[in-house]
Amino acid sequence: MKNTIALLKKYDEIKIIDAALDIYLEIPHLAYAEVKKEDGGKALLFTNVIDAKNDIKFEEPVLMNVFGSYKRCELLFGRTIESVADEITNLLHMKPPSGFMQKIDMAKELFSLKNIFPKRLKGEGECQAIKYLKEEVDLHKLPVLTTWEQDGGPFITMGQVYTQSLDGEMTNLGMYRLQVYDKNHLGMHWQIHKDSSHFFDQYQKAGKKMPVSIAIGGNPLYTWCATAPLPYGVNELLMYGLITKTPAQLVKSLTTPLYIPKDVDYVIEGWVNPSEMKIEGPFGDHTGYYTLEEPYPVLEVSAITMKKNRTFLATVVGKPPLEDKYMGWATGKIFFPLLKTTVPDLLDYHMPENAGFHNLILAKMQPLYKGHAKQFMHAFWGAGQMSFVKHAIFVDENAPKLENYEAFATYILNRFTPKSMFITEGILDALDHSSAETLVGGKLGIDATLANKVEPPQLLGDAELLTKVKEVVPQAVDLHQFMRRTNNPITVISVQKSKNVKEYFDALVELSPHLRVVVFVDENKNDIRNSYMLIWRVTNNMDALRDVYSAGLMVGVDGTNKTQLDGFTREWPDDVNCTPSVVESLKIKGIWDFDDKLFKKFQL
């Protein structure tokens, strides 16, 4: 962490904040705004960290937004992201050498691979310089942040969670949020699809306690490795060795059999009783909504160790864009070669951050036969973490660059018809709130590889069209048309919802000469001219099986909050929002320098 801070200072990528700031809301609110600035703002080092409620001043600083720009990602990797992807591609396509020089080159490459494997050391590491055992354990000695007003408590947000299978043969490094319940208990939010949860099942069946060691800090690449979507049973720290060409050096935890990197800043060790579950949450999550209270396993902490000179690493999640935008960018680039082993005709893919990553994937492919795009959809929805993707749009090799949203959307809308849609059901991320039941729901695929011939509608101005819409849907409040120059303009209608949206769509069929794609949103909390946040809202709120309709050439999408009007019986979560009094306090202290226009644009 000290080396990281020095590196960021050298390249003017860090801002030092010396004002006394609270772990409750103040520090995370500043980080939340900073990453939304152009190019991700700066990394933030808070040097004067307090817990005002308990009258505590912490020794250590808090570092946030460390991965929050493309430049900082590559600084932390120590090389270009593309070079890592190229190396994985070369390994996957390694062929037997045909001559002496090729044998020499291969020998060099294979010899370098000896450094990717983590190395277990004897003795203790600098992460164990300070030890708290048994009754001395107190999680409140760590500056754990409470990010949002409705959060169930403080959460560790950048913990490296080390676990192993029951037989000790497999290890896993994952990142899961960790709720601090009291001085020696943490909530373990490993979702049912995660590797640690699979290990937990083994301990549960055997009736044995499960060891867990949680590291915080050290080389930021340890933290990134915890997010790497590697196949089940593959040690994520192999990626650290591959990237840095040096093995991760590990030491054994004091009270568990798990090994952790010797140079992390903190280690929290403990045991999970498989028979004990506790309500975890709410938590303002990366979806931009609060995930609701649910029972999760509990870790009883047996030891806390730390460096003498330490830095507490944290992140903040909520509405996009956030630090995970840049971490996700690196992950997508690096693991593209592995994804191509499942779908070899894939040319490129991109997951827009304002769709929360798993809510939308854009993919470019080389279609070779009829139905090829639908085959791809099935492959994506069955491939590791891609299986959580809700909406997928596929284009052919002639499509514009996926990140050029304006050109990409034009390309799709000029060839889209309702028959381009493919709707099915599959597993969903545990954080998804829109489906009728947890963990499973509707998925929408769009095959835009085919150039369907579509006649454009008879365009009207927004005001004239709104007048006609209100005649058949009196609950309509406002209306705006996007992409008017395409064959399928998108009409967003805000409503004060008093009935199921399907009834509004049916009423609009008589206006179908003027409409193509119609998206309904609630009038409250939505700016119908803000496309960035509309994509965030709608991809979060829709379940394709329930919320997509068609009639002739007209398609409707229900992006409203779901209620009993929709037969929705689950609790609908609140948006994540900044606390106004905290923002005002930061302004009074002279350290809130976030533009009001950006505040409105990103709906903070």
| 189 shares a domain with 58 | yes
Which pLDDT band holds residue 131 (cuts at 50, 70, 90)?
A: very high
Partner residues linked to 365 by β-bridges = 346
| 479 shares a domain with 436 | no
| 255 shares a domain with 139 | yes
Could you say which DSSP state residue 376 is in?
A: H
Asked if residue 104 has pLDDT above 80, the reply is no
How confident is the model at residue 103, as a pLDDT?
53
| 353 shares a domain with 243 | no
| 435 shares a domain with 373 | yes
How confident is the model at residue 92, as a pLDDT?
60
pLDDT tens for each residue of 514-547:
999 999 999 999 999 999 999 999 999 999 999 9
CATH of the domain at 365: 3.40.1670.10
- Residue ranges making up the domain that contains 441: 340-447
pLDDT tens for each residue of 79-101:
998 888 888 877 765 556 556 55
| 440 shares a domain with 468 | no
Domain presence at residue 281:
yes
Which pLDDT band holds residue 106 (cuts at 50, 70, 90)?
A: very low
User: Region 484-509: what's the mean pLDDT?
Assistant: 97
| 356 shares a domain with 291 | no
**Residue that is last in its domain, among 412, 447, 482:** 447
The DSSP-derived string for 52-115 is: GGGTEE-SS-EEE-TT-SHHHHHHHHTS-HHHHHHHHHHHHT-----SHHHHHHHHHHHHHGGG
Domain presence at residue 506:
yes
> Angle CA(206)–CA(280)–CA(383) in degrees, nearest 5?
65
How confident is the model at residue 108, as a pLDDT?
56
**Residue among 164, 343, 181 at smallest CA distance from 271:** 164
| 143 shares a domain with 290 | yes
Asked if residue 337 has pLDDT above 90, the reply is no
Domain presence at residue 99:
no
| Sheet bearing 361-365, strands edge to edge | 346-350, 361-365, 391-395, 440-447, 421-427
User: Region 488-502: what's the mean pLDDT?
Assistant: 97
Domain presence at residue 504:
yes
| 370 shares a domain with 272 | no
The answer to whether 26 touches 585, Cβ cutoff 8 Å, is: yes
Domain presence at residue 494:
yes
Which pLDDT band holds residue 190 (cuts at 50, 70, 90)?
A: confident
User: Region 127-142: what's the mean pLDDT?
Assistant: 96
User: Region 459-486: what's the mean pLDDT?
Assistant: 97
Q: Is 417 exposed, middle or buried (0-12, 13-18, 19+ CB in 10 A)?
A: middle
Q: If you search the block for the tokens 């030491």, which residue do you land on?
A: 251
pLDDT tens for each residue of 2-57:
999 999 999 999 999 999 999 999 999 999 999 999 889 999 999 999 999 999 99
Asked if residue 200 has pLDDT above 90, the reply is no
User: Region 367-386: what's the mean pLDDT?
Assistant: 85
Look at 49-63, 171-185, 382-396, 462-476 and tell me which has the smallest mean pLDDT.
382-396
Domain presence at residue 328:
no
How confident is the model at residue 601, as a pLDDT?
94
| 482 shares a domain with 440 | no
pTM: 0.92
| 289 shares a domain with 153 | yes
Asked if residue 243 has pLDDT above 70, the reply is yes
**Rounded Cα gap, residues 444 and 542, in angstroms:** 10
Look at 71-75, 105-109, 230-234, 573-577 and tell me which has the smallest mean pLDDT.
105-109
User: Region 334-354: what's the mean pLDDT?
Assistant: 87
More confident residue, 494 or 100: 494
Domain presence at residue 589:
no
**Rounded Cα gap, residues 556 and 505, in angstroms:** 6
| 253 shares a domain with 123 | yes
How confident is the model at residue 102, as a pLDDT?
54
Most trustworthy range by pLDDT among 81-95, 189-203, 371-385, 551-565: 551-565
CATH of the domain at 12: 2.30.110.10
> Structural domain tally of the chain?
3
The answer to whether 153 touches 179, Cβ cutoff 8 Å, is: yes
Rounded alpha-carbon distances, angstroms, from residue 341 to 93, 337, 345, 347, 410: 10, 7, 9, 12, 30
**Residue that is last in its domain, among 417, 447, 477:** 447
The answer to whether 228 touches 214, Cβ cutoff 8 Å, is: no
**Rounded Cα gap, residues 226 and 219, in angstroms:** 12
User: Region 121-150: what's the mean pLDDT?
Assistant: 96
Q: 103-134 in b/e burial notation, b at 16+ Cβ within 10 A?
A: eeeeeeeeeeeeebebeeeeeebbbbeeebee
Mean pLDDT of the chain: 92
Domain presence at residue 243:
yes
**Residue among 393, 400, 77 at smallest CA distance from 220:** 77
Which pLDDT band holds residue 152 (cuts at 50, 70, 90)?
A: very high
